[in-house]
Amino acid sequence: MTRQRLFLFIIALLLIVLSWWQIAAARTGLVVQSLSRNGIPMLYIAPVRSPKIPGVLIAHGFAGSKQLMLGYAYTLAHAGYAVMLWDFSGHGANSKPLARSSLQADLDTAYKALLAQPRVDPQRVAVLGHSMGSGAAMTAAIQQSDRFTATVAISPTKAAITPQVPANLQLQAGSWEPRFVATAQQLLQQAGGESQGRSLVVIPNAEHITILFRQVSHQAAKTWLDRSFGIQNSSNYIDNRMTWYGVHLFAWLLILGAVAPTISSETTLRQPPRIWQRFPARGVSDLLFQAAIQVHNSDTVSKSDRLKSWIGLILSPLGAIGILALLNRNTDIASLGGVLVGGALGIWFYAAGIVWLLANWRLPRLTLAGLGLGLGLFLLLWVAFGAMAQVVWLQWWLVPVRLQLWLWLSLLCFPWLLASGIAQRQSSLKSRFIWWLGQSLVLVIGLLATIQILPQIGFIFLLLPIFPLFLAMFAIASASVKDVWAYAIGCSLFFSWAIAAAFPLVG
- Residues 441 and 102: their CA atoms lie apart, in Å, by 37
pLDDT at 366 over 90: no
Write down the H helix ranges in 361-465.
368-381, 388-392, 400-424, 429-453, 460-463
pLDDT at 19 over 90: yes
Contacts of residue 366, defined as CB under 8 A and 6 or more positions apart, other chains included, come to 293, 485
| Positive or negative: CA dihedral 487, 488, 493, 495 | positive
pLDDT on residue 82: 97
Q: What's the chain's average pLDDT?
A: 91
pLDDT on residue 411: 96
pLDDT at 374 over 80: yes
Residue 289 binned pLDDT confidence (cut-offs 50, 70, 90): very low
Tell me the mean pLDDT in the region 243-258. 94
Q: Are 128 and 156 in contact (CB under 8 A)?
A: no
pLDDT on residue 284: 47
pLDDT at 48 over 80: yes
Pick 239 or 51 by higher pLDDT.
239
> What pLDDT digit, counting tens, does each position of 455-483 carry?
999 999 999 999 999 999 999 988 888 89
Pick 490 or 295 by higher pLDDT.
490
- Residues 112 and 296: their CA atoms lie apart, in Å, by 63
Tell me the mean pLDDT in the region 176-192. 97
Distance from the Cα of residue 179 to its chain's centroid: 22
Q: Are 500 and 401 in contact (CB under 8 A)?
A: no
Q: How far is CA 9 from CA 1, 250, 382, 384, 487, in A?
A: 10, 12, 18, 14, 21
pLDDT on residue 199: 97
Pick 283 or 432 by higher pLDDT.
432
pLDDT on residue 480: 86
Task: Please spell the DSSP secondary structure of 287-321, one letter per residue.
Answer: HHHHHHHT--S-----HHHHHHHHHHHHHHHHHHH
| Positive or negative: CA dihedral 18, 21, 22, 23 | positive
Q: Which phi and psi (to 5°) does residue 150 adopt?
A: -150, 155
Tell me the mean pLDDT in the region 57-74. 98
Question: Quick one: residue 38, left, alpha or beta (phi over 0 = left, psi -120 to 50 = alpha)?
Answer: left
Residue 305 binned pLDDT confidence (cut-offs 50, 70, 90): confident
Residue 261 binned pLDDT confidence (cut-offs 50, 70, 90): low
Hey, which of 152-166, 268-282, 470-484 has the most confident mean pLDDT?
A: 152-166
> What pLDDT digit, counting tens, does each position of 380-415 carry?
999 999 999 999 999 999 999 999 999 999 999 999
pLDDT on residue 312: 95
Residue 297 binned pLDDT confidence (cut-offs 50, 70, 90): very low
Q: Which phi and psi (to 5°) does residue 6 adopt?
A: -65, -40
**Length of the chain (residues):** 507
pLDDT on residue 266: 41
pLDDT at 27 over 50: yes
pLDDT at 298 over 50: no
Which of 353, 367, 451, 457 minimizes the C-alpha distance to 411?
353
Which of 196-210, 277-291, 295-309, 449-463 is least confident?
277-291
Distance from the Cα of residue 390 to its chain's centroid: 11
Tell me the mean pLDDT in the region 235-262. 91
pLDDT on residue 262: 60
pLDDT on residue 115: 97
Distance from the Cα of residue 370 to its chain's centroid: 28
